[in-house]
Amino acid sequence: MKVIPFKIEDSLIVTIDCQILQDNYILALDTGASNTVIDLAALLILGYEIKDAIRTVEFETAKGSLVAYVFKVEEITALGITRKNEEICSYDFFGNHIFSDIHGVLGLDFIRDCKLCLDMVDQEITIMQKNS
């Protein structure tokens, strides 16, 4: 079991530290998102190329429907959990008029086998993987 502090900014649970391969990113925890989404620029900087996408998907965002690439990311760590060969959705935030210091959202797919408690008063996440 891990206890992780978070901050709330603009109605988002943010400052979820995330590591993809060796690079650090900041994600928002979005319990309304089915999928984890990372800005395409972040993946391109890591060396992924659009041709590495395994498929595309259409999904809804707060700004409407869009098409995203799906990549199999070698390793992603967040909330003290490491996933290998995780499928991550990605699209160009800037190209879709999203200007943010946040690199993406951690969706329900990432916490699929976890018990999760959000303490909004103390701004802490308590998380435990069910298979650990």
Q: Give the pTM.
A: 0.86
Q: Which CATH architecture has domain 2-129?
A: Beta Barrel (2.40)
pLDDT tens-digit readout, 32-84: 889 999 999 999 999 999 999 999 999 887 777 889 999 999 999 999 899 99
- Model pLDDT, residue 111: 92
Task: Grade residue 1 by pLDDT with cuts at 50, 70 and 90.
Answer: confident
Asked if 57 contacts 67 with a C-beta cutoff of 8 angstroms, the reply is yes
Cα 124 from Cα 98, distance rounded (Å):
27
Residues contacting 46, CB < 8 A, separation 6+: 20, 21, 23
